[in-house]
């Protein structure tokens, strides 16, 4: 999309045509997508984003349809992003979702969009994140993201939510083990769906028993019961959702992560070299950061491939954000890169940095650079940083705090 002037204002005043066009631009990552992201970034954070995940056929869409009705009854506007994994099991999900949610499609305060996952789920998580940002900026009070499954890829997708609901239908048998293994840490609440079925009580008991074993002092997620087909339990679920006051907290599960996200947003926005290289923030939390770059003509070497220095810059930016994310200036004192594959113009590369170890003065970070499409490994950077103990410029106490409205999104 070559965005017509004023599209953002129209989108913010509820124009669905502008919304649809902007979504298509982001989904296709076509020319202008970066500009759309940048304009949207300044305004995100007002919506309550709810991730709904669980096994295939677990009752997610029926629950979401019920939630739409219950939230509308409370005067809320609701948008839904239904992610269809295009798997043989759930092949008809898109159509099914449309039909089940059909009643609400004619309500101008409800917006439903299905997205197919083509290939790499990391890419899907990002474009879903982009679309959620748009729906947020378009003024929807609640944005619901439905994803199937309970594995690592869904964990990644639900990171874009403020609140994560894990749907557990009765009678999962051994599958409940799989749910426990993958999803325990991210669930803000468990919903025993289809609670009219005989095994519902047992499922609830198993979940409660499992939660009791959990260590740490994080709040224990509640286990709620719903019969979405009759509406039973939906009011209680809405009450719980509304009490959470989680609006605008997505991508950051803890207060430390929220502070870190704000800091890395500011840091990248204030980084002249990063802007010059066209680097974009994907994700951040305390001690980790992910940055992406589209290989452009300015990044190519004399052989027409992406310059090794550009790959180092991308990895180093991720490392720099990760190690400064705690709020104290950290400086690279030793860095080693190994490159396993090249990259060509037009490809998106993503660098993900995480902390390996940390002492009082030194910390070690590792960065993996991968192709966004296909996820192939391109390079690794290991770096040792010196921790100065001085506050990061533009950090929480920095003067740039008020500029945070103009910063790029964290997806």
Whichever of 138 and 227 has its CB closer to ligand GTP, that residue is 227
The answer to whether 325 contacts Mg ion (rule: CB under 5 A) is no
Q: Which stretch binds Mg ion (CB under 5 A): 89-97, 184-192, 248-256, 322-330?
A: 89-97
- Using Cβ positions, the residue closest to Mg ion within the complex turns out to be 61
Kindly state whether residue 53 participates in binding Mg ion, applying the rule CB under 5 A.
no
Nearer to Mg ion among residue 146 and residue 280 (C-beta): 146
- Find which of Mg ion, ligand GTP, none residue 142 binds, CB within 5 to 8 Å per kind: none
Residue 61 within binding range of Mg ion, rule CB under 5 A: yes
User: Among ligand GTP, Mg ion, none, what does residue 384 contact (CB within 5–8 Å per kind)?
Assistant: none
Work out how close the CB of 401 gets to ligand GTP at its nearest, in angstroms, rounded to a whole number: 42
Nearer to Mg ion, 59 or 287 (CB): 59
Minimum separation from the CB atom of position 116 to ligand GTP (A): 13
What is the 3-class SS of the chain, one letter each residue?
CCCCCCHHHHHHCCCHHHHHHHHHHHHHCCCCHHHHHHHHHCCCCCCEEEEEEECCCCCHHHHHHHHHHHHHHCCCCEEEEEEECCCCCCCCHHHHHHHHCHHHHCCCCEEEEEEECCCCHHHHHHHHHHHHHHHHHCCCCEEEEEEEECCHHHHHHHCCCCEEEEECCCCCCCHHHHHHHHHCCCCCEEEECCCCCCCHHHHHHHHHHHHHCCCCCCCCCCEEECECCCCECHHHHHHHHHHCCCCCCCCCCCHHHHHHHHHHHHHHHCCHHHHHHCCEEEEEECCEEEEEEECCHHHECCCCCECHHHHHHHHHHHHHHHHHCCCEEEEEEEEEEEECCCCCCCCEEEEEEEEEEECCCEEEEEEEEEECCCCCEEEEEEEEEEEEEEECCCCCCCHHHHHHHHCCCCC
By beta-carbon proximity to ligand GTP, the closer residue of 91 and 309 is 91
Contact 279, 317 (CB under 8 A): yes
Nearer to ligand GTP, 59 or 395 (CB): 59
Residue 93 C-beta: closest distance to ligand GTP, Å: 4
State the binding partner of 382 from ligand GTP, Mg ion, none, CB within 5 to 8 A by kind: none
What residue 18 binds from ligand GTP, Mg ion, none (CB within 5 to 8 A, per partner kind)?
Answer: none
Binding site for ligand GTP (CB under 6 A): 56-62, 90, 93, 96, 148, 193-194, 196-197, 227-229
Minimum CB distance to Mg ion, residue 153 (Å): 16
Least distance to Mg ion, CB of residue 144, Å: 11
57 binds, among ligand GTP, Mg ion, none (CB under 5 to 8 A by kind): ligand GTP
The distance of closest approach from Cβ of residue 138 to ligand GTP in the complex, given in angstroms and rounded to an integer, is 24
Residues that bind Mg ion (CB under 5 A): 60-61, 93
């Amino acid at each position: 999309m070559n965005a017509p002037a004023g599209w953002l204002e129209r989108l913010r005043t509820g124009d669905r045509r502008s919304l649809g066009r902007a979504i298509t631009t982001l989904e296709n990552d076509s020319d202008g997508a970066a500009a759309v992201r940048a304009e949207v970034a300044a305004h995100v954070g007002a919506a309550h984003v709810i991730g709904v995940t669980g096994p295939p056929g677990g009752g997610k869409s029926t629950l979401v349809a019920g939630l739409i009705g219950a939230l509308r009854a409370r005067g809320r506007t609701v948008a839904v992003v239904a992610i269809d994994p295009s798997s043989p099991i759930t092949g008809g999900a898109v159509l099914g979702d449309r039909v089940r949610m059909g009643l609400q499609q004619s309500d101008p305060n409800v917006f439903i969009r299905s997205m197919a996952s083509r290939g790499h789920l990391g890419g899907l998580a990002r474009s879903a994140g982009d679309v959620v940002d748009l729906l947020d900026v378009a003024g929807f009070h609640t944005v619901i993201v439905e994803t199937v499954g309970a594995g690592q890829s869904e964990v990644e997708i639900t990171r874009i939510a403020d609140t994560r609901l894990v749907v557990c239908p009765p009678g999962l048998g051994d599958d409940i083990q799989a749910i426990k293994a993958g999803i325990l840490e991210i669930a803000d609440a468990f919903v025993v769906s289809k609670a009219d079925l005989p095994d519902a009580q047992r499922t609830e008991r198993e979940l409660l028993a499992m939660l009791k074993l959990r260590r740490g002092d994080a709040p224990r997620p509640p286990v709620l019961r719903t019969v979405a087909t009759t509406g039973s339990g939906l009011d209680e679920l809405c009450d719980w959702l509304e009490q959470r006051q989680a609006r605008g907290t997505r991508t950051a599960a803890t207060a430390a992560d929220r502070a870190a996200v704000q800091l890395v947003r500011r840091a990248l926005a204030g980084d002249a070299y990063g802007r010059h290289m066209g680097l974009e923030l994907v994700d951040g939390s305390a001690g980790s950061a992910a940055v992406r770059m589209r290989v452009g003509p300015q990044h190519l070497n004399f052989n027409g491939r992406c310059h090794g220095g550009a790959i180092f810059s991308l990895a180093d930016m991720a490392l720099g954000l990760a190690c400064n994310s705690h709020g104290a200036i950290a400086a690279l004192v030793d860095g080693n890169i190994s490159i396993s594959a090249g990259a060509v113009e037009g490809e998106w590369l993503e660098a993900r940095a995480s902390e390996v170890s940390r002492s009082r003065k030194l910390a070690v970070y590792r960065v993996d650079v991968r192709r966004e499409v296909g996820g192939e490994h391109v390079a690794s950077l290991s770096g040792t940083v010196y921790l100065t103990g001085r506050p990061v410029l533009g950090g929480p106490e920095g003067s740039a705090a008020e500029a945070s409205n103009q910063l790029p999104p964290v997806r």
